[in-house]
Amino acid sequence: MTIDDFRRIALSMDGAEEGSHMGSADFRVGGRIFATLASQEHGYGNLMLTPEQQSAFVEDLPEIFLPVHGGWGRMGATHIRLSAANEDVLTGALHTAWKRRVEANSKVGKKVGAKVPAAKLTVGKARSSNVRTAVSAQGSPPAAKKSSNQSTRKKPAKKKPAKKISAKKPH
């Protein structure tokens, strides 16, 4: 696959727009980035995945996916080797990144193209290199529960008594 293929497929996602960030092409939905071409000089496209999605992609297809170096990689940013990917893999990977962004945007009230239900995404072990068919919805993750000692009310700040200032009279 090529840079042009990456761009064409990214822009085919509902509501996707091309922008620029720090001199590199990026692809956004609802104003937020889901993929970039920041590493195109190395033959990579970049996907904004969750760390869990990244781990599954890298484990299943290490010849195609690798984490971005540093902190961005630890947060899920993932390189895709374009020369090693076929159209099904690239389309499935971009769709996964796009869907993650659409879901995140809907949680904060961003305007997006199509509503997508929350889903847990997985990549199958089959080496068919068809990430799109390997992505499956398995229901949304359980909501975080508040412990009994957490309160939603803020405690009022304690008021300090005012200091008395006395003016000394000269003798």
Q: Is the pTM of this model over 0.75?
A: no
Beta bridge partners of 44: 81
Residue 32: CB partners within 8 Å, gap ≥ 6?
A: 101, 104, 105, 110
Indicate the residue type of 164: K
User: Looking at this protein, which amino acid is placed at residue 152?
Assistant: T
What's the mean pLDDT when you consider all of the chain? 77
Domain boundaries, given as residue ranges, for the chain = 3-134
Q: What is the pLDDT of residues 4-23, one digit of tens each?
A: 999 999 999 999 999 998 88
User: What's 3-134's CATH class?
Assistant: alpha beta
Distance CA 112, CA 15 (A): 6
